[in-house]
Each structure stands twice: as C-alpha cells, then as structure tokens.
A and B are shown apart, each in its own frame.
Chain A
C-alpha cells in the first residue's frame, strides 16, 4: 500500500459547514467541510525552541487556547524530563477549569439553547429568557476571569510555561474565585436540570465508540497519561497513533481519524460515558438521576453532558483552591537542561481529546504532531448526519434535514464559528450517476466488482452488468466470485476507487441508477444489500472511504425469475455510457 506521509494540522475551528446531496429517495453524499485555510502550524513550530512552541501552538484555536497550552506544556515536560510539584499541577487544573467553564457555558447557552427554544441567537433569546442569558454571561465571565487570573489574558495568555508559571495568583484572588464558585452552585444545578430535560430528538441514534483521557487515581478530570476507549482498550500516551490513525480528505483542511477502522467520538459526552461513574457529590447525584442508554448513542446529548461537566467544575474549584491555599508556596519555574527527547501530552479540550507530540533534538523542535478533537470527530459527524438525513428522508421529512444536520454539527461543538452555520441540502440533478462516474475516472481509474445473486431476479443486476461490461471489453471488471483468494485484484486496486455493482433498494422507481459511497450503505440499514458487509470487512479504511456502489433499484427479487424490464434497461444504459 502506498503510504501518505504527513506532518499535519490545519487548525480546525472557524469557518465550516456541512452538506448533504440527495438523489431521489437516497442521500448520496454528506460532507463536513472546513473552509478555514491551511495555517501549517506544526511546520511553524519546527526549528523553534520548546518555549517558542508553547507560545505559537495555542494560536491554533482561541477557544481552546489554554487546552493547547496545557497539552504543549505536558508534552514538552515529558520530552525534557521536567517534573513539576503538585502545586503547579493544581494551578494548571484550575486554569483549565476556567476554559472548560467559559467554553461550555458559551456553547450550551449561546450556541445550542437557541436551537431548542427557537431563536436565531442568544441576544434575541434574552427578551424571553432573561435570567438564563444573564446566568450564561456571568458564568462565561467567571470562566474568563479564572483564565485571565491564571494565564495572564483572556485569550492566548503567556503566563503558563514549561516548568510552572511566570507568576502565581494571589491568595485574595484565589479566595475570590472560590467564593464566587460556591455562589454559583444553585444556578448550576438548575442548568443541569434544564439541559438534561430538553426533549432531544431521537434521530440520529446509533452506537459509537467514545475516547477520552483517563485521569489518574480513578478520578473524573480533564487530563491524564492514558487514553481510555469505550471498547475497554487503554492506550498509553506515546501510543496515541493506535487511536487516531489520521488521514486526509480533499474537502477539508482538517484531517479525519478512525479507531480500528471505525469512527469514534470525543468530547463531553465521551467523558461522561467513559468516566461518569467516577463523578462524586452533586455531579454524581445528577449523573445517576439523568444518565441512561440514550447517552450512549445520541450525539445531541453532548449538551447535557456539558451541563454535567459545568457542575463538576464548579464543585471542583473550591476543593482546588483549598489545597492551593495550603503551604508550601508555589515554586519558581523549574529549569531543565535536556536538549534531546520525545514526548506526548494528553488533555481534554472542552470539545474532546487533544494530543500534542514533539520530538526535540539539539534543543529545538524537530517534529510536531498535533491532533485536535474536531479532526477526530469529523468522521462521526459525517456518519451521524448521513443516518439522520436518510432517516428523515425515509419518513418524508426532507425539510427537516438541514436543521437537523446543523443541530448535530453544533452538538459536537466543533468550534464556535463553524457550529454557527451553513447546513446545505443539495438536490442532485437527473442522472447524476454519470457525473460521479466521470469524476471517479478522472481521479484514478476505478475497479468494478459485480455482486449479487442471479438466482433471485433483479438481485442479479450487478453480476449481469459486470458480465456485459467484460464482454464489451471494459477494463478492470471482476465478479464477486473471483475475489476470494485472488490477491492480484486487491493488489491492483490499492489507491484506486472500488465501484461495486449491485441492486440497491433506495425506494425509488425500478431501474433508478445511483452512485453511493460504500460507507453510507453500511451505516444505513434501510438500504438492502447482502454481500457488501462481508467484502468490506476485507478492506482497510482508506479503501472503504474510496469505494462506491453503483446501485440499480430492483423491481422484484423473487427466486427463479428473469431480470425485470426496467432493470434490464438500466443495465443497457450503464453499459452504453461506460463503453
């Protein structure tokens, strides 16, 4: 297999959108698009000192700036063998809590809630829900205040450094933070009730895999040296690539990720799913009260999970401050002498697992790898949008698709500007399959594989078409039966799109032809097909992502019957076009 070697990251967050293409009764394409240009941040840090990196890398994203700072510092300290005392860890936890509160309150109230209450924005919501809007602003302001006190500024504060902080907050400032956090508690509990009792639509619901940091000592928290996956797997920080497996897609400057060939989700919902049992106090009570099976499969519940995490954070702050007020005093910045090393830092950004990995040689950064939460969520965002779009289409609610997709994207909290807009539903033109085939041919010449069963009337359409194409001299056409143990086919098809020819029930008039991405078929049980799951099991993800099904709507699947007239015509049509 050809290996694409990449040192990635375009920052994710900012300008983005989602689009679905519909052809008759079937959703033929869903794309989560990041319009934000490439900034090559990882390349900007190469050749720089660890200190310079720690001030450049957080500029990836203003909303997660301190998470980036934190992850970068953790990675650098691991690489350079810097050990900081507990006090420093606690100050960092407090700082990170500020960002969590700021981001979650902004997202839940300002970005998500207007959807559920039917307003275009939070300011407009203020006329009817004044106290909620006020509370959200106060909470956000409080989070910002913690960030400013610990990091020096609201955004891109430079105070946290490798080895500690330039300056520590005063006792008075800490006490003020604690008292304010305690004051907030009653309204935070109401917030959890509010977000846990919203009537979240049950479409889309489907199982997925969740991943997050595993904080030490079986505690809840937002940092750790290990990743915990809902499959039961645990991955040590330096082995993070076993989770992420990043790859590039052409419609986005953000990379996509998969775990064991399956998409996975990160974020507040992932943390609550994997670590919720560890919540104590009020947060623990609320978790027991509200958590149920729907949280395991409905991405929209992320808003409820965020509310729970707000409660956790507000409960945790007084504990943190109490310990910070005890002696010893926080130390001066810990200096280091190492000039070589490699290290990984894992933290939970508000929107999910964030990974920074660095290699240092001769005192300078020689390699940088940064994996953002949105890059990891991109695949699941597309998958859930597919499921929702197809199921709304099936139930005749096509007009709801746009809003629902926006709701899903926004629930993932990919970043604020991209969660604010731009869902688009496109109608595919008549005979759009021709266009798709041309497009595929232009990129790499596709390999065609006929599948189906000729004993069952139209189910033989794929096989029949493949035989006709072979007869007509079209190259690279195979039958399903030829695939077994035929290494040659697989070797020849590396990095080329595979196009399966099959009868696909898209609930259209018989003979309708469409080209669909294979993974769409696999994630939508309503589209009938038999052999594809088996075959796709032998493919790696890159192939899967690059594979399509040319489907023909069958009229009848009865045993022993001949292929129906409309399907026969469709086969002719494809044959004429391709020949």
Chain B
C-alpha cells in the first residue's frame, strides 16, 4: 500500500531568510521536492499555505518578537517533529549575541530610540529551544544544499538526519589545506561545526565560525592557545562571539572564572 506523503511545513522567524532561500536554490531538485512531500506551508515559495497538522516542521530564524513566540508554540503543537534549521534557530544567530538583557535593551534603544512598537513587541533574540523541544538541528549560516538534500531524503525514508560531530578542521585536513593557525592567521576551525567542507580555508581565508559551535569544542583551551600564539585578547573573544549566539554566554562565564 502506498503511504501518504509526509506533510512538511517550512517556517521563518527572525533571520535573513537564507535557509529558506537555500531550499529554493535547489533549482534542479525543486520540482521533485514538491512532488516527494506534501509541502503544506512555505511562505517564500507559495501563497496557498495551510496551517494544519504536520509530520515535520522546519524552522529557521531566531525568536525575536512576541509574534515569533506565538507562531513557534503553534508550530510545535501541530508538528510531530520540529527541526531547527540554521544558526539563528539553533543558537539565536548573530543577533543572539547580546545575551545580557540589559545590554540588549541598551542596544535596542540606540537603534530605535524610545519608540513603542505598535505591531509586535520585541524580545531578546533566542534560539527556538529556549521555548520548545527541538528534535533535530541542522547547523549552518546558511545551511548547505547537499546537507539539506541529504537531510530531506533521509527524513522521507524515516531516518534521522546526519549529525555533524566533527569540527571544520577535519574537513580541512581531507582537503589537504595548510593550517592557517600555523601561518599566524586567526582561524575558528577547531571550534566550529563541520559540514561546510572547510570552504573558507579552501579559499585561503580563515573560518569565521558561521556553522556555529561544534559539539564538545574545548573553548577555554583554544582561548589560551590563541593567547599563547599572541593574538589580541579582545579579538579572540569577539571572533568567538560573532557566530556563537547565546552559547557564548557559557564560554564568557567560564572565562571569567
């Protein structure tokens, strides 16, 4: 008996919309994607969207307004499996960096002054798992095409997505690149989740950390190693923070000790 197609919804909270766009960037596979699954909602691609029960919800973007919270709660209620796609929904994205509420408020004021937003109340940017249970994570800023197609086909067959337990350095070694750290260039490869194929280092440029913190990365040791190599203290901390979202709060806490 033919099984029903999986019902999938793709949702965007606050972010650059890059992860959703990346899905549209699968030009050669797009028609197949729409045929293989029942795409119930995908605001960027279609106007006949339905908010019903879902097998899988993919959520990109961080939670940055009260409306985002409401939408997210509703998605969780309707979906069997929720997948956080991209850096924003995993760790709050680049905008998740103002972890301290006071710091966030000050910066908000610097941009918007004292104006009261009438349409929806702003909240500090947070990853979606600050509000709901998340089943799987797909790292990247944005996610990659191969990564997405791999994930999509596995889900269609009822398999869980691949994990990315290795840092960028592993992929960099596969590509036989010279280590930039050894050349005196501050590269975040050792702390960053692999999966991108070490693309920046392939282009002779240092890793900026955009795939987010790798599981089990030893931030404190790395920090002291970089200090030993003579890099500026502020520069190290700043670079570590740029793409770590709210996770940087833990690291800062440990560094203070």
Contacts and interface: CB of A to CB of B under 8 A. Distances in A.
Interface in B13-36: 13-22, 24-25, 27-28, 30-31, 34
B94 to A, nearest CB: 5
Interface in A404-453: 415-417, 420-421
The 10 closest A-B pairs by CB, nearest first: A37-B64, A62-B18, A166-B203, A37-B14, A121-B46, A39-B95, A166-B205, A37-B65, A141-B27, A120-B48
Contacts of A152: 199-200, 202-203
B17 A14 contact: yes
B67 A10 contact: no
A43 B112 CA distance: 11
B108 interface: yes
Given A40-B107, A56-B242, A250 B115 contact: yes
Contact of A14 (B14, B24, B47, B208): B14
Contacts of B238: 47-49, 52
B226 to A, nearest CB: 15
A49 B235 contact: yes
A310 to B, nearest CB: 16
A183 B167 CA distance: 41
A35 B98 CA distance: 20
Given A14-B12, A48-B238, A120 B43 contact: no
Interface string A12-52: 01110000000000000000010111111111100111001
Contacts of B14: 14-15, 36-39
Contacts of A55: 208, 210, 242
Given A55-B210, A137-B28, A421-B43, 5 more contacts: A37-B123, A122-B45, A155-B25, A167-B202, A417-B43
B16 A144 contact: no
Interface residues of A, number: 69
A161 B27 CA distance: 28
B44 interface: yes
Given A13-B17, A123-B46, A152-B203, A39 B115 contact: no
B200 A416 contact: no
Interface of B: 12-22, 24-25, 27-28, 30-31, 34, 43-48, 61-62, 64-65, 67-68, 93-95, 97-98, 104, 107-108, 110-113, 115-120, 122-123, 125, 141-142, 144-145, 199-200, 202-205, 208, 210, 235, 238-239, 242
Nearest to A121: B46
Contact of A35 (B15, B28, B120): B120
Given A37-B125, A416-B21, A59 B16 contact: yes
Given A55-B208, A123-B46, A154-B25, A65 B18 contact: yes
A120 B12 contact: no
B203 A159 contact: yes
B107 A43 contact: yes
Interface stretch (A1-9, A233-241, A485-493): A1-9
9 contacts: A10-B111, A40-B104, A44-B95, A137-B27, A141-B28, A250-B116, A251-B118, A415-B17, A421-B47
A248 interface: yes
A114 B46 CA distance: 10
A48 B12 contact: no
Contact of B97 (A9, A33, A44): A44
B253 to A, nearest CB: 20
Contacts of B203: 152, 158-159, 165-167
B167 to A, nearest CB: 17
A138 to B, nearest CB: 7
A476 to B, nearest CB: 23
Nearest to B34: A123
Interface string A562-576: 000000000000000
A269 interface: no
B111 A14 contact: no
Contacts of B115: 4, 248, 250
Given A63-B21, A158-B203, A137 B30 contact: yes
Nearest to A4: B113
A9 B16 CA distance: 13
Contacts of B62: 37
Contacts of B242: 44, 48, 52, 55-56
